[in-house]
Amino acid sequence: MDLLGFFRGSPERQIQKLRKKVKEPHGDPAPRQNAAQRLFEMGTDESLRALLERFTISVSPSVQDEQEKEQVFYWLVQLGDRAVPAITSFLRNERWVYWPTRALREILSDEDLARKMIELLRFHWEYPPATAIPKAELLRSLGTLSTPELVEVVALFLEDENDDVRLAAAEYLFSRPEEDGRESILNCYLESEDRPRVRLQILERFAETDWTVKGCRPTVEESLPDGFTLTREGKVRRMNR
């Protein structure tokens, strides 16, 4: 190692120092911004993974925070496929998914994005994170993205231990054609006997979408809380009070 390299330290040590600066929410923003710029310019998986940690803090004023996050987002999109491994690593381990998933949506085609989201969701299903937040947020980020395999993977989360995750999965499936999600959501409803919030929101969405409870009418009818009824066609309706 030459003398200059000795004083600078290894790339790993440089990244560690820059990571600390990029996550510092207080004081002069210039060191934080300069650290982000350097991590982007280094362009390695490790430096980009550190750069993504800018999304884990918020600074004041909020306008400043938004501008800095927009800049990191722009850099990631500019790098294209080179940024995908670091973004994937971040989404496997962190709960701040809004900006990274936005970047993936810009970088990848819909087909590739669906495959990436399937990969991430399967990972979180097999290795549940410490909190339910990343699972729920990943599900909410799917939007109109849809493939048969993605629908199948999302349906797994109707069995999640967390109500927010179950409801996020149900909401995604309610936005698909009825034949794609009705049976899975009905099973979730019937298996959520001890989860009144889940049951109530599912019934509300059945009423809004005009889906039927075909195949489960007797058990659904027995379980209906006050204020709900079924039509002759098996559609959920709110009763007038």
Q: Which two tokens stand for residue 217?
A: 């009418």
Residues 178, 78 share a domain: no
Task: Give the contacts of 10 (CB within 8 A, at least 6 positions apart).
Answer: none
Confidence at residue 240, expressed as pLDDT on a 0 to 100 scale: 72
Residues 166, 86 share a domain: no
Residues 146, 45 share a domain: no
- Quick: pLDDT tens for 34-50: 999 999 999 999 999 99
- Quick: pLDDT tens for 206-234: 999 999 999 999 999 999 999 999 999 99
Q: Which two tokens stand for residue 100?
A: 């990274």
Number of domains in the chain: 2
* Rounded distance between C-alpha atoms, residue 122 and residue 111, angstroms: 17
The pTM (predicted TM-score) of the whole model is 0.91
Residues 157, 62 share a domain: no
Structure-token match 């990969």, residue found: 119
DSSP 54: G
Confidence at residue 8, expressed as pLDDT on a 0 to 100 scale: 57
In a domain, 135, yes or no: no
In a domain, 179, yes or no: yes
In a domain, 116, yes or no: no
- Domain span at 177: 141-241
Structure-token match 């210039």, residue found: 30
Confidence at residue 239, expressed as pLDDT on a 0 to 100 scale: 87
- Quick: pLDDT tens for 68-98: 999 999 999 999 999 999 999 999 999 999 9
In a domain, 121, yes or no: no
Residues 150, 93 share a domain: no
Task: Give the contacts of 82 (CB within 8 A, at least 6 positions apart).
Answer: 43, 48
